[in-house]
Copies of this chain bind each other. A is one copy, B any other.
């Protein structure tokens, strides 16, 4: 691969400019800003690199950009990415314009350089370099670039149902990843699901003077009572059947967990968070196992009555709790929603409204998949370090819709590092990681094309 790697090194400046070109186009899904323009730009960039492109549209959804590069073998590698980014606010905390990328001290700054325009362009540049040096790709590469990842990919399943043939592949490079504090590349094989709901309790038809609390029901109290039936102080979710489908990690996964645990600095994380201890006093492998393999029921928001500073004597007319259940294999979001509803009815809270606000199923790549082995080996060669493999992430992404439903194994890898400030001001990546990331993907292309049909287990 020396030929391709040398080509990449010589064209570094060009690749940085390509990234800057994409970052300059704001594309904020939460605010509906620039999505159409950014989708068109991604399509142009794919086309310039030699892809056959399609810009897919469904009513009420941001466009989905598809680009396909033909390859020598019948094998297909899917690249899942997104062109949308988080809002840049608070603007005053940026040292340079979030939409005018700037290189300072070996880092590229701008909204989306890490999450995930940097990964998108790195992968595109890897394909370009490979084609320019070798003329042909070893495998067919499909880019699937959506525009609503940062708001929970609410329409991606509709695209998957409408265009299943564009999603099918033998392996998938998932959108992002990076190095940890010890400069070891981390790979991710799975994501949690989510069931996000709002519980709504209603009282009188308007806020009242709190002196009426003697005789008028208070929905805020009822919210406390209903929430109390859902989780106890031992952090156990009390919804009947909630844990039925939760699986313990297998032997391979436990081995990875032990490796990850040994590489983590729990004390530094506690200090960073301003905490004395983690939940339930856990540490080490047990902490990590809980983090990656246990589902949650999280109050993300409590809203009732007077929200401002100081005091106001008001009896609220409505109380809301925003709840986020993070789900692990084999839980299903719809099933958890139904169990929640049954729980409320069983406990006498059938009057409490449950408003679903986002359901995604978890997904997990089998550890012995070929793409896992290939990406890990390529990482070892490019970075000179044995990668740490996370069998699961604690966070959520549309891996079920994009990959699991089609039986496609997926691996998260990318150009990030612990200082990237994802979702925060001064988002950045290191120039070195960006160039290495391009090489890594180029090597994955080569090895995935060369490898046999069946995986032989991870190295």
Taking Cβ atoms with an 8 Å cutoff, the residues of A that contact B are 152, 192, 194, 196, 198, 203-206, 208-218, 220-221, 223-225, 227-228, 231, 233, 273-275, 278-279, 282, 287, 290-292, 294, 296, 298-307, 310-316, 319, 322, 324, 326, 357-358, 393-396, 423
* Residues of chain B within 8 A of A152, CB atoms compared: 311
Q: Which of A214, A274, A287, A294 has the most CB of B within 10 A?
A: A214
Contact indicator A291/B209 (Cβ below 8 Å):
no
Give this chain's copy count: 2
Nearest CB of chain B from residue A332's CB, rounded to whole Å: 19
User: Do A299 and B224 touch across chains, with their CB atoms under 8 A apart?
Assistant: yes
CB pair A306–B322 under 8 Å, yes or no, is: yes
Asked whether, in the complex, the Cβ of A212 is within 8 Å of the Cβ of B302, the reply is no
Determine which of B210, B215, B273, B282 lies in contact with A324 in the assembled complex, contact meaning CB atoms within 8 Å.
Answer: B210
Separation of A311 and B198 alpha carbons in the complex (Å): 8
Contact status B204-A326, CB under 8 Å: no
A sample of 26 cross-chain residue pairs with beta-carbon separation below 8 angstroms, ordered by A number, consists of A198-B311, A204-B273, A210-B300, A211-B393, A213-B324, A213-B326, A214-B291, A214-B294, A214-B296, A215-B282, A215-B287, A216-B275, A216-B278, A217-B279, A218-B299, A220-B299, A224-B228, A300-B306, A300-B313, A300-B314, A301-B306, A301-B312, A302-B302, A307-B307, A310-B357, A312-B322
- If A205-B273, A301-B314, A357-B310 touch, does A279 touch B192 (CB 8 Å cutoff)? no
Q: How far is the CB of A124 from chain B (nearest CB, A)?
A: 28
A315 contacts B302, C-beta separation under 8 Å: no
A233 / chain B contacts, CB cutoff of 8 Å:
225
- Indicate which residue in B204, B298, B313, B358 contacts A315 across the interface (CB closer than 8 Å): B298
Q: A210-B300, A212-B394 are in contact. List 8 more A-B contacts (CB 8 A).
A: A208-B273, A210-B326, A214-B326, A218-B299, A301-B304, A301-B316, A311-B324, A311-B357
Closest to A290 in B: B214
Chain B residue contacts of A208, Cβ below 8 A? 273
Instruction: Contact check, B300 vs A302: say whether CB atoms are below 8 A apart.
Output: no
B196 engages A313 (CB within 8 Å): yes
Q: Identify which of B196, B211, B227, B278 contacts A395 (C-beta below 8 A).
A: B211
Closest chain B residue to A275, Cβ basis: B204
Minimum CB–CB distance from A202 to chain B (whole Å) comes to 9
A152 to chain B, nearest CB (A): 7
Question: How far apart are the CA atoms of A423 and B206 in the complex, in Å?
Answer: 14
A233 CB to nearest B CB, Å: 6
- Report A273 CB to chain B, min CB distance, Å: 4
**Which B-chain residue is minimally distant from A292 (CB atoms)?**
B214
Chain B residues within an 8 Å CB radius of A305 = 299-302, 322
A324 smallest CB distance to B (angstroms): 5
Task: Please determine whether A313 and B275 come into contact, CB atoms closer than 8 angstroms.
Answer: no
Q: How far is the CA of A294 from the CA of B214 in the complex (A)?
A: 7
Contact assessment for A231 and B227 in the assembled complex, using a CB-CB cutoff below 8 Å:
no
Q: Is the CB of A196 within 8 A of B307?
A: no
Report the 7 A-B pairs with minimum CB-CB distance, sorted nearest first. A205-B274, A220-B299, A211-B394, A213-B298, A302-B304, A301-B306, A301-B305
Is there an interface contact between B394 and A216, defined as CB atoms closer than 8 Å?
no
A291 in complex: contacting residue of B215, B292, B298, B299, CB < 8 Å:
B215
Q: Chain B's nearest CB lies how many Å from the CB of A316?
A: 7
Query: Is A303 within 8 A of B300, CB to CB?
Result: no
**Complex contact A300–B290 (CB within 8 A):** no
* CB of A350 to closest CB in B, whole Å: 14
A213-B287 Cα distance, complex, nearest whole Å:
12
Instruction: Give CA–CA (A223, B211) in the complex, Å.
Output: 23
Give the complex CA separation of A298 and B305 in angstroms. Answer: 11
Residues of chain B within 8 A (CB-CB) of A279 are 214-217
Shortest Cβ distance from A277 into B: residue: B217
The answer for the CA separation of A215 and B273 in the assembled complex, in Å, is 11
The smallest beta-carbon distance between A349 and chain B, in angstroms, is: 10
* Closest chain B CB from A142 CB (angstroms): 28
Judging by beta carbons under 8 Å apart, are B204 and A274 in contact?
Answer: yes
How distant is the Cα of A300 from the Cα of B306 in the complex, in angstroms? Answer: 6
Q: Which residues of B contact A287 (CB under 8 A)?
A: 215
CA distance A209 to B313 in the complex (A): 33
**Are A312 and B300 interface neighbours, CB within 8 A?**
yes
Q: A260 → chain B, closest Cβ, in Å?
A: 14
Q: In the complex the two chains form, is A273's CB within 8 Å of B216's CB?
A: yes
Q: How far is the CA of A393 from the CA of B221 in the complex (A)?
A: 23
